[in-house]
Structure 1
Amino acid sequence: MEDPRRNVPRTDDVLADPRLVQAAARIGTGLVKRSVVATLALCREGLVAPSEVANHAVANLPSTATSLRPVINATGVVVHTNLGRAPLSSAAVEALVVAAGATDVELSLQTGRRERRGRDTLAALAAAVPAAGGVHVVNNGAAALGLVTLALAAGREVVVPRGEMVEIGDGFRIPELLESVGARLVEVGTTNRVRLADYAAAITERTAFVLKVHPSNFVVAGFTSSVAVRDLAGLPVPVVVDIGSGLLRAHPRLPHEPDATTALRDGATLVTASGDKLLGGPQAGLLLGDEALVDRLRRHPFARAVRVDKLTLAALEATLTGPPSPVAVSLAATQPELMVRAEKIAASLAEVTDAHAIPSAGAVGGGGAPGVELPSAAVSLPAELAEPLRLGAPPVVGHVKDGRLRLDLLAVFPDDDEAMTAAVRRVLESPCT
């Protein structure tokens, strides 16, 4: 008998298929060849017919050259760290495309001379926070606080209350960051209580600044006390406030979340924050405050090591000057309007599964507004759909509670309702479900 493997097409012959040639120009030869080689292996095992090799390879090509996949965030967490934190606005996405090529990021087109990097982004940030005398941007929130500490406190002391020596995601600890750049920490107060007198007693000629850190991802309740920025501002040293979440101005739905404008008006010397949380922009670290100090930080040699690229500058500027970000839209959404969407989706799915629209409670996430519940609405489905929906196309990530899968709509774009509904239908129609 003839060996069926003799009928397996040659790799070069398959790669010559016009569809695969076109795909190679779009996503790269390596990814295309990987799909072809994998398909040929299946053909040798008799699982794919020789005549179907090219079709199968085309069908299994990745859609883009990145392994990242767009996900529908139905968790109810607006700024979900595991899903990339803040989704960018359409204006910011468009700005990324513009910035991807050659741009005038450090060039004046009028004079033909070099010009300050990110000048328009910094101007937009300054306009968004008028209380800041100076502004600067680095590559993330940790870099912002690290640069401040390195420039002002290397070999000196930073006074920080014990209740604010926090650990955030992935084992990252604020005290270790400060110590890694040469500062010595002077702890004051206790885990649950600190007084102004504790700070005052700790200040010496070696003190570089007092640091106030937003606890970010936890709440200490009960017998507690802390010292407000306006009171710390009376101390004879600079006051650095790490607000973490990047809220630039007070928000009516987050009355207890610290914001940069209020902190600066209350006397903070410097404020550090993230750009990819409540601000709703790309990953970035914001430095806001005393003009002379910010300029000193900008000129520090380490500032070059944490400099942002042109893509970040473009996306941040568009976030600040463009339409409301998806984060802002989610925070403004009301439960009644979300319930209307949930009821429509549930009604569409009720004919194929046990689907109901229910009230829900979302969260800010990303270390913002810990303990605050955001009224929302969700589609309740059988819990066994959770895994196949995560593995579907597009992936839909919800959460299981009380034995039911909840697809919360708080962070789902309205334009994605139809795609999410279709994803559920595809899972239900799959013979493996």
Structure 2
Amino acid sequence: MQLNKRGKISGALAVASQVLLNPTVQAKEEITAAEWDYDTAIMYYGEDDSRVSALEGMVGATRTNGDDQTLSLKLTVDSLTGASPTGAVPQNEAQTFTRPSGNGSYTVAPGDTPLDDTFKDTRVQLNASWASPINRDWDWSTGVHISKEYDYLSLGANIGFSRSLNQNNTVLTMGLGGYFDTIEPEGGIPEPLTAMVLRDNFTSEAAYREAFNATRGESSDTKTTTELNVGISQVINRWLITSLNYSFAQVDGYLTDPFKLISVVDDDGVAQQNLYENRPDSRTKHALFWQTKAYLNGQVLDIGYRYMFDDWEIQSHTIDFRYNYQFGSGHYLEPHLRFYRQSEADFYAPFLMEGQSVPTYASADYRLGKMNTYTVGLKYGMLLNNSQEVSVRLEYYMQQPEDAGFSAPGQLSGLDLYPDVQAVILQLNYHF
């Protein structure tokens, strides 16, 4: 979850010349001296049923000098707590699970979705970027990224170029980025598709520890990501601007979630064991993004569509709608609607059947399953003196996982294998 800043639009000429839709392209203004702009935000995200909740704060600073060069700095700190689904199936009787570290266990009530209540993390992220004109037609930018959690480190860098054509009414963009991530989960990396061991099944702590350690591999692992983005933004007239972008991403390395499980059940739907999931060690993603903004009698309509597909056989469609309504004296309202639909990965399964061969790759993580999500929200903003702005955003989010055609045996047919997730998002922003 990231805090996102959206600029205000105050007129038809502003729409045509300043609100370029590709995020790497900044509107140009006549600046005679260096200026600093600051953005601060705080966001709360909370799911129902005591699941995941997050509190995130952000502070950003942008310095623009007389040569139209910009330095941008952003610090983000967030804290996540709550309970996260493990991927194991619910049962008609209580279930006991070993904690990821191997130290201790927790029990899930009959009929409840198994949730790992040890989910807790704090992330600190710093982004820095520099953008500068090369000449009248070319701009370039570069940036670095570092993010650190308790068990996760991410380092990245990017570079981009933009070319203005047709009296600056057309802008071509290209960007390249790379990331290197290291994960060090508490308890080590589980061996793929090995069975979770339980302390109560062993007569001594030493015997349990020996069995638990046999399910562990290395203490850490890594993954790399390479991204390429190309796009075009086009001013149609004084009231309409549109853009089209294509992005490619190649991810290699450890892509499995070390905390997720998949249950093996018998013909009665009774879980016989829980295996640690396993995902392929590479993923190739393609995405097309189209966005159009229109200035309509003092208001701004913003519509976007994104299509993504990858070699895990996941396809997704996202439709995003915003309408910025100005009602005088610097006040505005911005309704927001978003719809997202996703197909399941080719190795996704809510459970495995006993007696059948275990596949090479398997995951019951609902985030890789078939689903629809809906977001409905409203943002209120107000301009203050000296180009200051304050805004508040409230949104309701619903996630609806769907059955992708799996026949639930025995008791599983009467249990909720695809529970809905509902959440509330509240965000406060201050620009000065």
TM-score range, shorter chain: under 0.3
Higher relative contact order (CA 8 A, sep 6+): 1
With normalisation by structure 1, the TM-score equals: 0.21
Higher helix proportion: 1
TM-score of the superposed pair, with normalisation by structure 2? 0.21
Larger radius of gyration: 1
Higher strand fraction (1 or 2): 2
